[in-house]
Structure 1
Amino acid sequence: MPKKDENSQDKSLTAAERREQERKVRAAAKLRENLMRRKGQARARRSGEADETQGLPAAKTDESS
């Protein structure tokens, strides 16, 4: 019978639990990244020129007809 590695990270977690834990870590990292990006955008809007556009730009029409 093969001996289990004594230096494994956490022997008490099953493979599914490890995947779930890794997924949560990735999700937390993505949320932090998104928050930092949004904060940067807000800072840029405060320090930059005001956006003078009104609403969404008009859709382009097909001028070939």
Structure 2
Amino acid sequence: MSDHKPIYPAKVQRQKRLEQVLKDNLKRRKVQSKARKSLMDQTDDGEDAPEGEPQDSPEENG
């Protein structure tokens, strides 16, 4: 009887599940932002920006 898993209260189970979901979301967001950044680097080769001025999007500055 001592080799069974302890029965956690629902609150603890919910907390563990939330922590796992948050970790997964953080990983996913990091991957997406990295992909988005590399995509932006590929497409922003000065096509829209005037000569000599860096191109910044307002979302990143705010």
Which category describes the TM-score, using the shorter chain as reference length? 0.5 to 0.7
- Give the number of equivalent residue pairs: 48
Ranges of 4+ aligned residues in structure 1 off by more than 6 Å: none
Work out which structure has the larger RCO, using CA pairs closer than 8 Å and 6 or more positions apart in sequence.
Answer: 2
Q: 1 or 2, which has the higher helix percentage?
A: 2
Normalized against structure 2, the TM-score is what?
Answer: 0.58
Q: Aligned-pair RMSD on alpha carbons?
A: 2.6
Q: Provide the C-alpha distance between the structure 2 equivalents of 1:54 and 1:36, rounded to a whole number of angstroms.
A: 21
Q: Provide the C-alpha distance between the structure 1 equivalents of 2:56 and 2:38, rounded to a whole number of angstroms.
A: 21
Q: Which runs of 5+ in 1 are unaligned?
A: 1-7, 57-65
Q: Which runs of 5+ in 2 are unaligned?
A: 50-54
Bigger Rg, structure 1 or 2: 1
Task: From the superposition, tell whether residues 15 and 55 of structure 1 become closer, same or farther in structure 2 (CA, over 3 Å).
Answer: closer
